[in-house]
Amino acid sequence: MSHQPRPAQLPSQLEKVLVLDFGAQYVQLIVRRIRELNVYAEIVPSSVSAEAVREQRPTALVLSGGPASVYEEDAPEFDPAIFEMGIPILGICYGCQLMAHVLGGAVQPGDSREFGRQKLHVREPDTLMTGVPEDTVCWMSHGDRVERVPEGFVVLASTEHSPVAAMADLDRRMCAVQFHPEVRHTPEGMDILRNFLHDIAGCHGTWRTESFIEQAVEEIRAQVGDERVLCTLSGGVDSSVVAMLMDRAIGDQLTCMFLDHGLLRKGEAREVIDTFAPRLGERFVFVDASEDFLTGLQGVADPEQKRRVIGETFIRTFEREAAKLGEFRFIAHGTLYPDVIESGGRETATIKTHHNVGGLPDDMVFENIEPLRSLFKDEVRRVGLELGLPESIVWRQPFPGPGLAVRIVGEVTPERLETVREADAILREEIAAAGIDGLAQWFAVLATMRSVGVMGDGRTYEHPIILRVVTTDDFMTADWADLPHELLGRISNRIVNEVRGVNRVVYDITSKPPGTIEWE
């Protein structure tokens, strides 16, 4: 029996764009922007066959960027028959060069590579470039360039070093841009994507959270039938939305189990119990398994191994506890699209394994249900509001499945857990008291290093606490929050004075990329 989650099955009448991934690390941004225009989009490997594309009946295709050259022997695999299917296609960066190369144009290494902001001159302002000023800027990231367009194409725009910065064959509904319209650094990028989707591909922009809920409920019912489902409820946004979605779909066939792995934030276990026990009644089950998890994590310092241990222990504990409640065939997780992307499995590299994607054992007795695996965090929040969840849950800041284990660099021990838990509680208290808006995630990290300090006229040699506070729209990219210095000083003073074993507090001012939001 396969335990791999099934791909999303969408109604045939729903507009859908397939984004072929040629190795662009931020291909998800293309998907994000398309969905912001109310058109559903998802990523598929660049090696997808024309026949597989035809089976999905997409409204349009987008060919992503990537680091390769079209002339390299190990260039990403691509089925050229896709260009003969009559489906509207937009090529971006590498996708632009591939379109030119396969269809008979010419691609050559550029005399000067273009990276970052470049001046763009629009030569043909119609259709794809409608609404774009004649002279504007765009974001480039390439070495090769298109020297000659294929027969039937016209040049739409150029830059100083790219004679073909945009091209189109509108009879065949094929367009391409050498720059990146999906990034905010291209001011008219959304206009260009909208022009392609609406004016060239004929999309109407009908994708809404209501559409997702209706279809997800149908899919869940079709997959589950009369079987029972165990939902892994952590109290976070994702698992809470999954629980409510599953409850709408199958009602009494659902049991939600809250498993306290001992890696939660201060007071969190009681908060989850008080929130969900009244809502779910006898279908809410609480299990304290903290001792099992801490035993499994003894001596484990590698973050990937931590995730594997936690994933394995999660499943084994659920198997054991579920057996006491009767037979369950399925287990429901709050896996999101960023989890799937960062865990690899497509053309993009594995950034880190998420415990509920790549960290689950192969021989578990349950089949997975992951109804949110095609959504981004902001989309999940909209689904939660539509399902009637209170805003206090919907807007709760994300907390990783492995909990504080990935906020402790190195081995997890009860003593180190207590240190980071207390420091994190102080940070959260002060952020709440300050009433600062616009923050996406804020937490404390405990490092393995030690530093010399002075307390009470004596020498100390203790650990630093790292504070991480970020702003983001989609959690795929993020920036550090510029908090008031007075607030940072107050937080630092409290942590050093109130948390034993800490003599220094530092503030992480790294964006994502190059860092990730979590430290492990």
* Largest interatomic CA distance in the chain: 80
Residues whose CB is less than 8 angstroms from the CB of residue 353 and which lie 6 or more positions away in sequence, other chains included: 304, 307, 308, 343, 359
Asked if 115 contacts 141 with a C-beta cutoff of 8 angstroms, the reply is yes
How would you class 490 by CB atoms within 10 Å of its CB: exposed for 0-12, middle for 13-18, buried for 19 or more? middle
The one catalytic residue in 180, 333, 354, 355 is 180
Asked if 381 contacts 395 with a C-beta cutoff of 8 angstroms, the reply is yes
**What are the tokens at 236?**
């976070």
How far apart are the C-alpha atoms of 280 and 247, rounded to whole Å? Answer: 9
Q: Is the peptide bond before 181 cis (omega within 30 degrees of 0)?
A: no
Closest Cα partner for 382 from 235, 241, 244?
A: 241
What do you get for the CA distance between the two ends of the chain, in Å? 32
How far apart are the C-alpha atoms of 446 and 440, rounded to whole Å? Answer: 20
Residue 519: alpha-carbon gap to chain centroid: 16
- Residues listed for the chain: 520
Q: Is the peptide bond before 7 cis (omega within 30 degrees of 0)?
A: no
Among this protein's residues, is 182 annotated catalytic? yes
Q: Is the peptide bond before 133 cis (omega within 30 degrees of 0)?
A: no
Closest Cα partner for 94 from 141, 41, 131?
A: 141
How far apart are the C-alpha atoms of 162 and 147, rounded to whole Å? Answer: 8
DSSP classification of residue 253: G
How far apart are the C-alpha atoms of 270 and 268, rounded to whole Å? Answer: 5
DSSP classification of residue 183: S
The one catalytic residue in 15, 36, 93, 354 is 93
**Count of CB atoms situated within 10 Å of the CB of 127:** 14
Closest Cα partner for 162 from 182, 141, 193?
A: 141
Among this protein's residues, is 180 annotated catalytic? yes
The one catalytic residue in 182, 188, 268, 367 is 182
How would you class 438 by CB atoms within 10 Å of its CB: exposed for 0-12, middle for 13-18, buried for 19 or more? exposed
**Count of CB atoms situated within 10 Å of the CB of 41:** 25
Asked if 272 contacts 287 with a C-beta cutoff of 8 angstroms, the reply is no
Residues whose CB is less than 8 angstroms from the CB of residue 428 and which lie 6 or more positions away in sequence, other chains included: 265, 442
* Strand 330-332 relative to strand 40-45, pairing: unpaired
- Positions marked catalytic: 93, 180, 182
